[in-house]
Structure 1
Amino acid sequence: MRRVVITGLGALTPIGNNVRDFWQALKNGKNGVGEITKFDASKFKTQFACEVKGFDPLQFMEKSDARKYDLYTQYALAAVAESVEQAKLDFESINKDRVGVIWGSGNGGIETFQEQVKEYVLGDGTPRFNPFFIPKMIANIASGIVAMKYGLRGVNYTTVSACATSNTAIIDAFNYIKWNKADMMITGGSEAPVVASTVGGFNASRAMSTLNDDFSKASRPFDVNRDGFVLGEGAGALVLEELEHALKRGANILAEVVGGGMASDAYHLTGTHPNGDGAALGMRLALEEAGISAEDIDYLNAHATSTPQGDLSELRGIEQVFGRRESLNISATKSMTGHLLGAAGAIEAIACVGAIAQSFVPPTINSQEIEPEFDGAYNFTLGKAQEKEITFAMSNTFGFGGHIATSIFKKY
């Protein structure tokens, strides 16, 4: 069986605009939340989000290109550029027919869509649409543009499975290499959803926190007082590579991908199964592929968005697989980054690799009073990071529609 390793990472997040800063922020328990600056949210039920700070697209692309790309694509290009640099890739020295891109985005160019439709509706009815409207907006364009930038002719497509999207992309990329359909894949996901339509839509579905008076504590996974997720934005990129291919070119190996499990809750439009049945199945499938038992997992990065039903159902799914194990470190990095929707899985995969590489468990911040049903059942890594040798790390992601995706990473 072909082994798959990670040789490059790129991160653009609300708590750090590169991998080094992101990992340091995780160690420090940095909170990325703030008042929304991208539009006037004063009349919205939620007026805060975890925004990327200080992003300059011209560091990564020409001005003429930036005008043609929605922000979610700009974020993708920034994260991929860092991952390619870290992997020390010279694409002219490898077979680009065997290098592909699988990129994820749950919303694609939602800002572009919103602005173009608004201009039409508020105008005189004349259809004056930007010629770049469609290619800026479609969810698959980021994967295409990444391939064009580097001349990569291998498999190229986009995954969309709501908040499981970029974890799905990682698992797909892992499989293409494992099945000998590629030697290297660039994968991950990006989102730029801090726009009026997204905030208004999630408010209408009662999914987001409305703790405007104390928003610094709004993202509090597993806490009995949680009231919804905090919206985040950004991108995460990973270079996956077949082991012998990586060794031959002298690559620095950061970690190994050893398992991926995908399943479905098959239960509800937006809610997760109350007993976590789908989540448990995804975790079991990932463990089975990795050839390990639940006892081997040292750290679990939970989906844990801070929604009342979602967090509890995930814990019940974890209990089905792991039983009750006080030594198992669980943390919810969304307490710091907010929920990056389709990009969450990529960012949390990078958090797992950092935990493995630097022997630490990122904390769950803000949470004070854990759900009584699970208080004492696990080490929720509350308040501050913990030093720990980690061999296996698991990452859970779940999405509207019942989508389940779980990845397992191993120390190389």
Structure 2
Amino acid sequence: MARIMHVTALIVAAGSGTRMGGDLPKQYARIGGKAVLAHAVDALLSHSKIDAVRVVIGEGQEDIAREALEWRDVGDFIIGGATRNESTRNGLAAVETSHVLVHDAARPFCPPEVIDRLVETLDGDAVAVVPVLAVADTMARLDDGGLGEAVSRDGLVKVQTPQGFRTEQLLDVLEQSDLAGAAATDEASVIRAAGLPVVTVEGHAKLEKLTTPADWARAAREMEQDMVPRTGMGFDVHAFAGPGPIILGGIEIAHEKGLAGHSDADVLLHAITDALLGAAGLGDIGEHFPPSDPQWKGAASDQFLVHAAKLVRAGGGTIDHVDATVICEAPKVGPHRAAMRTRIAGILELPEASVSVKATTTEKLGFAGRKEGIACQAVANIRMASA
């Protein structure tokens, strides 16, 4: 039977994240090369039972949110308010589906089975449904700064997000409730205060909220455990043609001859680009930037490398190291190696220690030995989530 209920995931990302420290709100900081907000969006966008994802951001955060989410389809950003519930109300006003999952951007890793449980419960006519985890630790009250009376943990749970609701009903309750100000920390609290039932389903440890630097370190470790190393190889060659200079490793090098190619013929950046695409299983440079396409005629090759790096990171990957060997008799690479390394590290947003550039000759054998052109081979090591 076809599914009649439609669901929008509404991610509330309007906070300032002051408890995390630093100037950047925590939802825009990166874990594994990808913004926390992007992790949250990807988990929901990829789920078959989510029809749309919308994002509520703080006023003035449009540029940083756009940079964090890049190509992801979340519609126009919704501007939040001064409180959590103001932001949620603004978001709900833009939701066009019958049901909504309201999610904290600071919970970046939402397992698909939790979404399954929420949607299935909503489809059973629940007013509201939230994921919860039983409290395992001993609980106690503080008494003048010391440990006071123990509190029974029987029946205590930690309430997580996403939280599922009927869209119109949640909006009505938020608009009418006295708890719609700063006092309410989540939408389920407002629903309960209105006397409406809230159903619970099993949550997940991965939905723990990022609040402190220690939480951040924990999330990074958990992500590392789910990632596997992958290696890609790249190779490119360009013939000498026309007058110099040449572009190699993103820098200009004086030479009596230039390199033939549809773009700027930067053989070093092309090889690294192919290595990154290969490691991520994303084809080769020709598929992404066809030489038959006139828009790439004379194009600077740094944009090819930026594109490959963004694709790796958009897939949740981390670039660990790139190593390249330039093969030619001339020009001499040694005097320019440091500058190339610095330039490539800058393009890839990596420390220079993660970039290696070497050079060799073919002992005057073959086309490189005859000074007919330059070749380059590259290896890229990345980590990506296991399939």
TM-score range, shorter chain: under 0.3
Whichever of the two has the greater Rg, that structure is 2
Q: TM-score, normalised by structure 2?
A: 0.27
Q: TM-score, normalised by structure 1?
A: 0.26
By relative contact order (CA 8 Å, sep 6+), the higher-ranking structure is 1
**Structure with greater proportional strand content:** 2
